[in-house]
Structure 1
Amino acid sequence: MSSPSETAGLGIDLDVSDVEAVAGRRDELVAEVRDHAGGIAYRLAKLQGGDYGRTELSTAGGEWTVKHEAGELEFLLFSPKRGSDTYVVSTKQPPEPSGLSAALEDYPNMVAAWNAYVDSLSGVLDGVSAEFPEPASTDGVVAERDRVLDSIRETCGVIAGEVYRYEGDDYGTFTARVDGDRWELKWEEGAVSYLRVGGSGGLYLLSQYEAPSAADVREYAEPFAGFVEAYNEFVEGLESDLTTVSV
Structure 2
Amino acid sequence: MTDGPEADVEAVDEIAERRDELATRVRAHAGEIARELAVLQGGDYGQESFDTDGGSWTLKYEAGDVQYLRFDPKSGSEIYVVSDKRQPEPDALETAMADYESFVAAYNEFVRSLDGLLADVPPTFPEVESTAELVAERDRIVDRIRDVGDAMAGQLHRYDGEYGTYATTISGTRWELKWEGDLASYLRVGGSSGTYLISQYGPPAAADVRRLAADVPAFVTAFNDHVADLESDLEQIRFEDV
TM interval, shorter chain, is 0.7 to 0.9
What does residue 185 of structure 1 align with?
Answer: 177
What does residue 68 of structure 2 align with?
Answer: 75
Listed as ranges, the matches of 1:156-167 within 5 Å are: 156-167=149-160
The one-letter code matched in structure 2 to 1:126 is A
- Provide structure 1 residue ranges, at least 5 long, that are not aligned to the other structure: 1-11
Residue 180 to residue 79, structure 1, CA distance change in 2 (3 Å)? farther
Of 44, 47, 54, which aligns to 2:37?
44
Of 194, 214, 217, which aligns to 1:222?
214
Whether the 8 Å CA contact 2:20–2:87 is kept in 1: the answer is no
d(CA) in 2 for partners of 1:182, 1:15 = 95
CA root-mean-square deviation: 3.0
d(CA) in 2 for partners of 1:243, 1:151 = 32
TM value normalised by structure 2: 0.79
Deviation at 1:168, TM superposition (A): 1.5
What does residue 239 of structure 1 align with?
Answer: 231
Residue 112 to residue 168, structure 1, CA distance change in 2 (3 Å)? same
Aligned residues: 234
Q: Which moved more, 1:155-164 or 1:214-223?
A: 214-223
Deviation by residue 1:30-76 (Cα, 9 ceiling, x = unmatched): 32222111111111122222333333333344443333334333333
Of 203, 208, 212, which aligns to 2:204?
212
Q: What is the SS of the residue equivalent to 2:67?
A: strand
Deviation at 1:126, TM superposition (A): 2.9
Of 100, 103, 106, which aligns to 2:99?
106
What does residue 134 of structure 2 align with?
Answer: 141
Deviation at 1:102, TM superposition (A): 4.3
Percent sequence identity is 51
TM value normalised by structure 1: 0.78
d(CA) in 1 for partners of 2:176, 2:8 = 86
- Provide structure 2 residue ranges, at least 5 long, that are not aligned to the other structure: none
Deviation at 1:181, TM superposition (A): 3.3
Residue 79 to residue 196, structure 1, CA distance change in 2 (3 Å)? farther
Q: What is the SS of the residue equivalent to 1:67?
A: strand
Whether the 8 Å CA contact 1:86–1:95 is kept in 2: the answer is no
d(CA) in 2 for partners of 1:229, 1:22 = 94
d(CA) in 1 for partners of 2:86, 2:173 = 64
Does 1:203 pair with 2:192?
Answer: no
What does residue 5 of structure 1 align with?
Answer: none
d(CA) in 2 for partners of 1:46, 1:38 = 12
Deviation at 1:22, TM superposition (A): 5.3
The one-letter code matched in structure 1 to 2:190 is G
Deviation by residue 1:208-243 (Cα, 9 ceiling, x = unmatched): 223322122222222333433332232233223222
d(CA) in 2 for partners of 1:239, 1:186 = 21
d(CA) in 1 for partners of 2:179, 2:47 = 52
Deviation at 1:87, TM superposition (A): 4.0
The one-letter code matched in structure 1 to 2:182 is G
d(CA) in 2 for partners of 1:180, 1:82 = 74
